[in-house]
Amino acid sequence: MGGVTSTLLDTVQPGDRPASGAVLPPLRIGPLTVTTPVVLAPMAGVTNRAFRTLCREAGASGGFDPGLYVAEMVTSRALVERNVESLRIVTFGPEETPRSAQVYGVDPATVGAAVKIIAGEDRADHVDLNFGCPVPKVTRKGGGAALPWKRQLFTDIVKAAVDAAEPYGIPVTVKMRKGIDPEHLTYLEAGRIAESLGVAAVALHARTAADYYSGEADWTAIARLKEAVRTVPVLGNGDIWSAEDALRMVRETGADGVVVGRGCQGRPWLFADLAAAFNGSDERVRPGLRHVAETIYRHGELMIDYFDGDEHKGVRDLRKHMAWYLKGYAVGGDARRALAMVSSLAELRTLLDGLDLDQPYPGADAEGQRGRAGSPKTPHLPYGWLESRDLNAEFEAKLREAELSVSGG
């Protein structure tokens, strides 16, 4: 492997391996068996092939099964229209197995057609459906976390996806939130519906759309969903910043595995910690700045490869990761600003080499929450969306156009 993974084990702090071994049984997603029950959450603009590669390599660095790594959300309409960037999202590297794609949509026929493309063209081994996105450009169209409120629409979309994937033996899973707000919760009903329609697993981000990314995730909701959904795995998502958080989540909720989102931003080695933890080891990665710099540079190389050799595009896309990578390390403001504006691989190398690379791991300052947080927000919904659980003809007509203006979230 490349520079990052070759040094990964040098940063691991060894400890005793408990005789008990694995914490949970293997996660079974239809025909797929994932020994380490950890899933990388799809995050728009983050979990492209370059970042997935770093996470997968880290997860496998201790000799463990690395888990499941889901690509960025792809809009069903754009995929059906064979948009170049959408097809790029569902184009996986030869080393990626199993391959996991996530589809967003608000029209059952279009979602079914998109899943048929993914399954029929052998683009992925697993398809996840997005019913959890809280961002306004998605919810104002009735999508993401807003959609399960319309129970028949939710049912029709899940059924269309499962039916499209079934002939190809591709499992379909659902990722959702608790609901729109505390007065409009949908997750228990949606979980039971999805289970009855033949999904292979359900995942819950234990916040509402109104919560956005604020406050603490309500892990008790994951436990309630686990009680309600009995025949397929239930995965928990929300506030997993460390391997210890993941172990605590499954212990407190009974979840069959975890989904990790913001906790790995700027920290792909979290998957090494998670793999070790779920396999009964207390080894953890504690990187000094040199290791972080090597990871950033390799990330840049992988980004350029992802964008077919377009160096400027690849390095520019890397910029958003810099603050996450450097959290807690003593890097001056000028260096941080320069890295956040880097435009070439050579410049990146020079800037990284100019840092104090002998800095050790800074401890708690490098840990904890990262990425988006903010405060609760009033969800943006189609006018009159909450007046009925049913979908009237006016909403149905609007939904046919909704996907055209949604490209991520």
Same domain for 40 and 56: yes
Question: Which of 286, 321, 350 marks a domain boundary?
Answer: 286
Distance CA 195, CA 185 (A): 18
Residue pair 264/294 in contact (Cβ under 8 Å)? The answer is: no
Q: What's the confidence (pLDDT) of residue 402?
A: 61
Confidence at residue 244, expressed as pLDDT on a 0 to 100 scale: 97
Within-domain flag for 368 = no
Q: Are residues 72 and 127 in the same domain?
A: yes
Q: Distance (Å, rounded) from C-alpha 73 to C-alpha 127? A: 10
CA angle 213, 219, 225 (to 5 degrees): 110
How many domains in the chain? 2
Residue 163 lies in a domain: yes
Tell me, yes or no, whether 169 and 61 share the same domain: yes
Averages of pLDDT over runs of 10 residues in the chain (409 residues) are 36 40 92 96 94 96 89 95 94 94 95 97 97 93 95 97 98 98 97 98 97 94 98 97 97 97 96 95 95 98 96 96 96 96 97 97 89 80 91 74 50
Would 373 be classed as within a structural domain?
no
* Strand residue runs (E) in 194-297: 201-205, 234-237, 257-260, 284-285
- C-alpha closest to that of 327 among 276, 292, 294: 292
Q: What is the pLDDT of residue 17?
A: 38
Tokens read off for 223: 């436990």
Is position 409 within any domain?
no
In a domain, 404, yes or no: no
Residue ranges making up the domain that contains 198: 27-286
Helix (H, G, I), strand (E, B) or coil at 340: coil
- Give yes or no: residues 294 and 279 share one domain: no
Residues 221 and 322 in one domain: no
Asked if residue 296 and residue 232 are part of one domain, the reply reads: no
pLDDT of residue 407: 41
337 and 232 part of one domain? no
* H/E element, 306: helix 289-306
Q: What's residue 11's pLDDT?
A: 43
Domain boundary among 258, 286, 314: 286
**For residues 355 and 334, what is the distance between their CA atoms, to the nearest angstrom?**
11
If asked whether residues 247 and 259 sit together in one domain, one would say yes
Q: Active-site residues: which are they?
A: 133
Residues paired with residue 102 on neighbouring β-strands, in sequence order: 73, 128
d(CA 147, CA 156): 11
Task: Give yes or no for a contact between 378 and 114, defined as CB atoms under 8 angstroms apart.
Answer: no
**Is 400 among the domain residues?**
no
Q: What is the pLDDT of residue 368?
A: 83
Give phi and psi for 40, each to the nearest 5: -80, 120
Close Cβ partners of 377 (under 8 Å, ≥ 6 residues apart):
134, 210, 212
Q: Could you tell me which of 161, 85, 156 has the C-alpha nearest to residue 128?
A: 161
Position 377 in a domain = no
Pairing of strands 12-13, 284-285: antiparallel
Question: Cα separation of 53 and 364, whole Å?
Answer: 26
Rounded to the nearest 5°, which phi and psi values hold at 39?
-125, 130
The runs of H, that is alpha helices, within 121-218 are 136-139, 151-165, 187-196
Whether the Cβ atoms of residue 73 and residue 130 lie closer than 8 Å to each other? yes
Pair 43, 181 in one domain? yes
Quote the pTM value.
0.90
Residues 6+ away with beta carbon under 8 Å from 193: 151, 154, 155, 158
Neighbours of 340 (CB within 10 A): 14
* pLDDT reported for residue 404: 54
| 282 shares a domain with 302 | no
| DSSP label at residue 179 | B
For residue 19, what pLDDT is reported? 34
CATH classification of the domain holding 97: 3.20.20.70
> Does a structural domain hold residue 394?
no
253 in the same domain as 241: yes
CA dist., res. 94 & res. 74, Å (int): 20
- Picking from 251, 286, 321, the residue at the C-terminal end of a domain is 286
Same domain, 233 and 115: yes
In whole angstroms, give the CA distance from residue 47 to residue 84: 17
Residue 277's SS3 state is helix
